[in-house]
Amino acid sequence: MAKLVEKPTIINAEGHPPKEIQEYIGRVNTGTTEVSIAKMISPAGWTEPGQTPQFSEYTLVLKGSLHARFEDRELVVKAGQAIVVQAGEWVQYHTPEGAEYIATCIPAFSPQTVNRDVG
């Protein structure tokens, strides 16, 4: 049955300075485990720990640019571009100039399956 999602749930984000996560579809807002869809509003200078998630992440940048560091390179994803990061691939995201983007995770994002670097 169709379900209207009237508004997102704001979720605390990892990294510094604070980034706003607006989850529209996912474990927190709709109880969905198959996929999560969230809008990220990331300030200039934001960075988060590296991670090796157990989900694939599909990201569409709306404004600014999202930088994605990998073990062997860094990609800069600009407004109007997208990036696919496969499950099991180490990545570290940061936004030197700030960015707004939509992140879709399959299966849905979970703190237990993101596998963030420690220390």
> Residue 24 sits in a domain of what CATH number?
2.60.120.10
In this predicted model, what pLDDT tens digit does every residue of 27-74 receive, in sequence order? 999 999 999 999 999 999 999 999 999 999 999 999 999 999 999 999
| Whole-number pLDDT of residue 4 | 97
Residue 112 lies in a domain: no
The number of distinct structural domains making up the chain is 1
Among residues 92, 88, 82, the alpha carbon closest in space to that of 15 is found at 92
With a pLDDT cut of 70, the percent of the chain lying above it is: 99
- pLDDT score of 119 more than 90: no
Residue 60 lies in a domain: yes
pTM strictly above 0.75: yes
Range of the domain at 40: 9-106
